[in-house]
Structure 1
Amino acid sequence: MHLREEALWLLTSDVSVSTVFPLTNASHYWDAETGENDCFSGKGHSNQVSQMVTDDSSELVTCSMDDTLRYTNINKTEYSASDVVKMDFQPKSVSVAVGGLSLAVCIGQVVLLKNKKKVFTMDNLDYEAEVGALHPGGSTAAVGGADGKVRLYSVQGNTLKDEGKTIELTGAITDMAYSNDGAYLALIDDKKVTSVFTVADDYSVKNNFYGHHAKPVTLAWSPDNEHFATGGMDMMVFIWTVSDPDKRIKVPDTHRLHHVSGLAWVDEHTLVTTSHDASIKQWTIKY
């Protein structure tokens, strides 16, 4: 297994490679093959962007500390003044699924959106919601809490139904994501445990993965659905193999000035890491 590093250094604080990574309220995009980059035009978020994802209609969906979600066409790379959704509380996480669905986890609130409009809100939660993930097929909304539990809500039309299904981990959930094919749900918690659950087997544990020396904070699935990457406060990135917890690639000191803040896969052999050190790095992964 080999790694090849290609560092792309920035003069600004927010970057992207094929997708966009959140750090400040500005958005920059990079072409992973040519290295060309530019800024999104128009007026964007007025405060720090917390998370961003892309949906199946080439929309970049971003949530920000300015209490809004924005939908921006990637091909146009121009902010739209009309595609802004004002939230009641500050959003911490956003995820997307087919059919125009978006899920925003806010401080004290979980919001389901459809076609850029709020359609269902859960208030007065009896737990602190930290992060959410929509199943790619749009059937389930998983919400991870600070209490170490993941609530699995059924998406029924324009509502979320609590059917009492939960997953329990060892610590507060820091990030989570379904595999691209929807077969697995991967989670990381502040007790340094990474877990993968099999969706079709009623979310039974597939494997647990250990290696981080400090809290892992970000997670991303490879397009091959057999591997995924995690990054932590220990300055390390691991690339894991779903079927074999002992088969892993360890990348120490990925960003020496700060921990990894974002991960994304360009393809199954190309991983991109970002950090608050104002740089992005592109890694070639060979298994």
Structure 2
Amino acid sequence: MSFKKGALYPANPATARGQPTKLSSSKDKIVYTNGRSVFIRDLSDPAVSIAYSGHVHNATVARIAPSGYYCASADVVGNVRIWDTLGDEQTLKGEYKVITGQVKDLEWDGESKRIVAVGDGRDKFGHAFMFDTGSSTGEIIGHAKTINAVSIRQQRPFRAATAADDATIVFHQGVPFKYDKTIKTHTKFVQDVRYASSGDHFASVGSDYKIFVYDGKTGDTLGEFTDSPHTGSVMSVSWSPDSKSLVTSAADGTVKLWDVETKKAQITWTLGSGVNHQQVGNTWTAGDHIVSLSISGDLNVFDKRIGDKPARILYGPQKAITSAIKAPSSDATFIVGTADGRVLSFANEYEYVGGDAHASLVAGLSASPSGTVHSVGFDDRLREIDGKVYTPASFSTAAQPKAGVAVSGDSTVFVAEVESVEAVRSNQKVFDLPLKYTPSAIAASGSQVAVGGEDQKVRLYSWDGKALSEKATLEGNKGTVSALAFSPDGKHLASGDSSGKIALFDAAAHKLVTSRWSFHSGRINSLSWTADGKHCASGSLDTHVYVWSVEKPMKNIAIKNASPGGVNAVFWLKDGELASAGADGSVRVWNVTFHA
């Protein structure tokens, strides 16, 4: 048995209220961070993406060098890592501690040799260094508060501009970079500063709703954009590839395209009102795509020829994926639920499941034989998804659904709660089973229902359409039962636990088949069977995925580090195609080969 890495469907950027999010681009790929991961995402094909997961702490900003060979990414504790963008390994070139706090922005020079990183440090707010040795290449000084952005002129003579919370811009000459002058055009926080690719100008935007443009060589102020101004904090600015236009994104929910020569707004795109539509970051790619980021994580892609709305919107998980299943209907590939209550379906791109979403973490997803998907959340609600929309139907559970949801052959939905199992049909409770143990996992197949407990045991029940009756107690796990899955024919039951062990039971004979599936070192979060029932995949908190064989229990495929932060869900898309999802909000596909 063997595997090869397949498609990667990345999470969308992480955002924070009142804070700009740095997006960047290289050719027609956009670069951003979410959690400890850095994503390089192709705008034309969502599956052709790269994820770098080398950071120990949450990453804040990433930019690819002009050469295209290396990417520099920084984190919340002041580390900058430089790594190779070519090949699958993403080899680390160097790691440097640049400041003693969060890095807010960084920039490469035009020769792909020097980097300036800025942010919120205790002893200094910025550092200029050589990417290969880490040696200093000047001083970034002149600010009294956190620096939010930095931009470097890409041609010699080099110049650098930094923008900070002290409402000033500092202009540096280089190299080595040294203080030249302080520019006091803004009256509030300066959120972003960006050089045009020609090097002739740079622009700044801030919380005072203002936009200014300056001479790229001297730093002299050339003027303010006063025509049709924003009515909220301007969070980000980017230049067109030809350096004749710039685009700004603001907290008023608008994105504006400006002509630099006339300083007039050419197009205003209005995304909507309310917090979710606040625009907190943008980038203008070499392929002439304008991408602006909503605080909800949506990536809005604009076409200059379409002046009223985005040409398309790239949706995606923004938080950890907590549950995921293969979509039962043909119009979608898979469905994921996230830690912030969102449920998204994926076909060629992600779409939100329409309707009233969960208010908090999605604890489980399960499909009925009819194709209806049921979701249950920590908001104590059981919902129905028909196709790509929630139905109006909703059932309030008696307690928090700790252990997920399962659906029997007659489409009865079973929800495992703190002290009971509720049976629900057509959003009406038809049975309630009080428990003397605390349930921690649930699965169903036909008329069989299995409930795992914190007492390390699995109870098998029979469902007759009216009540659950206990048939057997299965023992073999070494920790709290954390995941259960019946094989498609209902013959076998796999039971994973908090110690990383998986017990395989014969569900009909009520006996242990093997306890040798024990290579995980952390809690088993998910189990999924192949259609023929010969292999079972497991995903664990230890970040690994294993594929086990029923016929040869000692044979397995180990997919190491499948999901940084832990694997929360595994599911088979089709024969030989396994998907895993987890804490980094991404879905990865693995092409598995079973040798005869």
User: Are the equivalent residues in 1 in contact too, given 2:410–2:465 (CA < 8 A)?
Assistant: no
Aligned equivalent of 1:154: 462
Larger proportion of strand: 1
Question: Is the aligned partner of 1:51 residue 2:358?
Answer: no
Cα displacement (A) at 1:36: 2.3
Aligned equivalent of 2:335: 20
2:414 and 2:433 map into 1 onto residues whose CA distance is 11
Cα displacement (A) at 1:158: 1.0
- 1:36 paired residue among 349, 357, 368: 349
Cα displacement (A) at 1:127: 0.9
2:454 and 2:381 map into 1 onto residues whose CA distance is 23
User: Are the equivalent residues in 1 in contact too, given 2:405–2:442 (CA < 8 A)?
Assistant: yes
Aligned equivalent of 2:140: none
2:523 and 2:443 map into 1 onto residues whose CA distance is 20
User: Are the equivalent residues in 2 in contact too, given 1:100–1:116 (CA < 8 A)?
Assistant: no
- 2:550 paired residue among 230, 238, 242: 242
Aligned equivalent of 1:130: 440
Deviations 1:12-58 (A, max 9, x none): 33666623222231111112xxx322111111212211110111111
1:67 and 1:57 map into 2 onto residues whose CA distance is 24
Instruction: Spell out the pairing of 1:87-98 with structure 2 (5 A cutoff).
Output: 87-92=397-402, 93-98=404-409
- 1:226 paired residue among 534, 541, 551: 534
Cα displacement (A) at 1:213: 1.8
Residue segments in structure 2 that go unaligned for 5+ positions in a row:
13-316, 327-332
- One-letter amino acid of the counterpart of residue 377, structure 2: S
| % identical equivalent positions | 25
User: Are the equivalent residues in 2 in contact too, given 1:207–1:243 (CA < 8 A)?
Assistant: no
Aligned equivalent of 1:99: 410
* TM-score of the two chains, using structure 1 as the length reference: 0.91
Aligned equivalent of 1:177: 485
Aligned equivalent of 2:499: 191
- One-letter amino acid of the counterpart of residue 68, structure 1: R
Residue segments in structure 1 that go unaligned for 5+ positions in a row:
none
Aligned equivalent of 1:5: 6
Of residues 171-180 and 209-218 in structure 1, the stretch that sits farther from structure 2 once superposed is 209-218
Aligned equivalent of 1:265: 572
Instruction: Spell out the pairing of 1:271-282 with structure 2 (5 A cutoff).
Output: 271-282=578-589
Runs of 4+ in 1 over 4 A off after TM superposition: 14-17
2:575 and 2:500 map into 1 onto residues whose CA distance is 25
Instruction: Spell out the pairing of 1:50-69 with structure 2 (5 A cutoff).
Output: 50-69=363-382
User: Are the equivalent residues in 1 in contact too, given 2:11–2:584 (CA < 8 A)?
Assistant: no
User: Are the equivalent residues in 1 in contact too, given 2:408–2:449 (CA < 8 A)?
Assistant: no
- One-letter amino acid of the counterpart of residue 9, structure 1: P
* Count of aligned residue pairs for this structure pair: 275
- One-letter amino acid of the counterpart of residue 490, structure 2: G
Asked which structure has the greater RCO (Cα within 8 Å, sep 6+), the reply is 1
SS in structure 2 of the partner of residue 239 of structure 1? strand
Instruction: State the Cα RMSD in Å.
Output: 1.6
SS in structure 1 of the partner of residue 389 of structure 2? coil
2:418 and 2:8 map into 1 onto residues whose CA distance is 35
